[in-house]
Chain A
Amino acid sequence: MEISGGRTSGEDKDRATAFGGADAGSAAAGAADFGARTEPGTLPPTGPGAPSPVAAAWRRLIRNRGAVFGMAVICAMGLAALAAPLLSPYSYWDGVPGCERLGPRPGFWLGTDMLGRDVLSRMMYGARISLAVGIAATALSLVIGLSVGLTAGYSRGILDAVLMRVTDTVYAFPGILLAVGIAAIAEKPSPWIAFVALGLSGWTGIARVTRAETMKLAGADYVLAARALGVPTLRILWRHILPNALSPVMVMATLAIGGNILGEAALSFLGLGAEDPYPSWGGMLAEARDHFTVYWWMGVFPGLAIVLTVLAFNMIGDGLRDALDVRSGGAPY
């Protein structure tokens, strides 16, 4: 716990706030802070013939039951999303006349909605938006966060101070305004809003961790050696610092995907996500909001899909933390 760092809980927690209250998301928040829950690891073998660090980490990862479960869930979700046109029993936008508001039954395994559309089929298409936005927004945050963190950590001085104040500013900024602002400028709801808003606001934690790692590595002997040899700064950052700073960032990013999926669901719930005939999980919950006390299946199953997917990413993130041996990874402060 570093005192000047300030913020403590996971970054996603605060993003969640931004998007609708501490309630919107949640996320990775927690998962980030807690001690690892694995058996004590064995010492890695060294010397010639030893597996590469990546291979060793992968082997530790696939021994982690939670992480394997998470990866299996994500693969299944990904498959359902990609192959939705082939696998889904009904269309996502056309209701079956006479089949409105049916409960779960053979044929309509998860029931139908107010317009007679199959809930299962709509959820399969909805998985596309959740996964795509969750991953793409995290990628955007990664690009910004890594650039800012590397620059600030390696340059120190004025540039560092300025970049960190900018990071604090974005961190303190209510993201809901950003999302609604982008929504208003885009003039109609679209998943792009969630992608841009979540990506532009979720990078502050990644930047802080990257900065801290960079500062630590910048004084390492091999970096000094590279500088002495006249290696250009960009190449030092890319080849010598980034790969070694990446472990905690990867853990954070995995957890952030889950957080962004929750954020996307929250924005869709507020009506800023996908536009009506096209389904998203948050949007389906918004549609179900007025009727779910009677037609419970419309509100229960999309919510379960969100929980399961976010859970899967969190379990992979926890597994990665153990496999990469990141101490308190993801919770830099």
Chain B
Amino acid sequence: MWGYIARRLLQSVPVLIGVTLISFAIVHALPGSPAEVLLGPRASAEQIDAAAEELGLNRPLPIQYLKYLGRLVRGDLGVSWSQKDLPVSSILVRDLGVSVRLALGAMTFAMLIGIPLGILSSRRPYGLLDNLAMGASLIGICTPAFWLAMLLILVFGVWLRWLPISGYEPGSLAHLVLPSVTLGAISAAVLARMTRASILDAMGEDYIRTARARGLSEWRTLLAHAFPNASLPLITVIGSNLASLFTGAVLTETVFSLPGMGRELYEAIFNRDYNLMLGCIVVMSVIFVLANLAVDVLYAFLDPRLRRG
């Protein structure tokens, strides 16, 4: 078990180095130097050159990259040039607060809708309810989230006036409802289908026949015997979806004007804010890699057959 975790952690080191390398290359391939963007269109060539010198942009790229890596392993993400030299780490901590709340809200919504829907569907496969639920989830999977957001704003924000349609206030749950539904809709659809499929799988097992032979009610058989066994694959789906939800949702954040990580990255790119861009990407990839690792470990932990192997 520990050997497995150590091996996986070791494997993710080259992945993370690769991510920083590619992003460093892209960031520096962007036309327009940060010095120009910082000083505005009226700056003279000498001023731009002096600023570039000060920012360390005139050194050879490999040196800049190694210097960045050196600071990174010490946990130093540098300062943001576009945001008054604030440390990148404190900007990201602030954004992460929003992104984490949004991701958790989205996953809560997805689980509340998806899992019960999947259970209900599996009661009577190919029945009316099943066909309706599976049809709805298929459409959910095919719907662009930003369009769903527009429809939700139209119905709940403009026609019914139930919920705020944009912005973010710390501590206000109402501001997170529509973004969470938008972001969680696809996960809900995926979960509903996964739940249904894995329960139907489990229903064919011997222990279900045993439970029925003991005279347990169908619901009890389903909830106490089939669902716990069927929930293992769901954990993997929930975990890896959560990882993707965390790492920013540019469109949801844009449509609802939420100050999260995805939007920060998007704006940093346009401001040519190298440190902020790289910081966003590093944090996103670390979360992504670690969350996927955590899912695998949890999976092994919950499934005794894998634990021993």
**Which A residues fall within an 8 A CB radius of B?**
1, 3-4, 6-10, 13-14, 16-17, 19-31, 33-35, 37, 165-166, 168-169, 172-174, 176-178, 180-181, 184-185, 187, 258, 262, 265-266, 269-270, 282, 285, 288-289, 292-293, 296, 299-300, 303, 306-307, 310-311, 314-315
Decide: A3 and B296 in contact? CB cutoff 8 A. yes
Q: What residues of A have a CB within 8 angstroms of the CB of B151 in the complex? A: 300, 303
Q: What is the chain B residue whose CB lies nearest that of A303?
A: B147
Q: Determine the distance from Cα of A307 to Cα of B146 in the docked complex, in whole angstroms.
A: 12
Instruction: Tell yes or no: B92 within 8 A of A by CB.
Output: no
Contact of B244 among A17, A37, A289, A296 (CB under 8 A): A17
Contact with A along B138-173 (1 / 0, CB 8 A): 111111111101110110001000000000000000
A-contacting 9-mer, from B65-73, B205-213, B219-227, B250-258: B250-258
Q: What residues of B have a CB within 8 angstroms of the CB of A174 in the complex? A: 247-248, 265, 280-281, 284-285
* 5 A-B residue pairings within 8 Å (CB atoms): A22-B106, A30-B194, A37-B134, A269-B251, A307-B139
Contact of B251 among A7, A33, A270 (CB under 8 A): A270
Q: What is the chain A residue whose CB lies nearest that of B147?
A: A303
Decide: B252 and A23 in contact? CB cutoff 8 A. yes
Decide: A165 and B14 in contact? CB cutoff 8 A. yes
Instruction: Tell yes or no: B182 within 8 A of A by CB.
Output: yes
Q: What residues of B have a CB within 8 angstroms of the CB of A22 in the complex? A: 106, 145, 183, 186-187, 241, 244-245, 249
Contact with A along B246-273 (1 / 0, CB 8 A): 0111111111000000100110011000
Q: Determine the distance from Cα of A285 to Cα of B292 in the docked complex, in whole angstroms.
A: 34
Q: What residues of B have a CB within 8 angstroms of the CB of A13 in the complex? A: 186, 190, 241, 244
Decide: B249 and A258 in contact? CB cutoff 8 A. no
Closest 5 CB pairs of A and B: A21-B249, A23-B145, A169-B18, A35-B197, A30-B190
The interface residues of chain B, by DSSP majority, are classed as helix
Q: Determine the distance from Cα of A124 to Cα of B251 in the docked complex, in whole angstroms.
A: 25
Q: What residues of A have a CB within 8 angstroms of the CB of B137 in the complex? A: 30
If the complex has contacts A165-B18, A166-B18, A180-B269, are A258 and B251 also in contact, measured as CB distance less than 8 A? no
Q: Determine the distance from Cα of A308 to Cα of B199 in the docked complex, in whole angstroms.
A: 29
Decide: B142 and A293 in contact? CB cutoff 8 A. no
Q: Can you add 4 more A-B contacts, CB < 8 Å, to A9-B236, A165-B14, A169-B22?
A: A20-B145, A266-B144, A289-B150, A306-B144
Q: What residues of B have a CB within 8 angstroms of the CB of A178 in the complex? A: 26
Please give the distance in Å from A22's CB to the nearest CB on chain B.
5
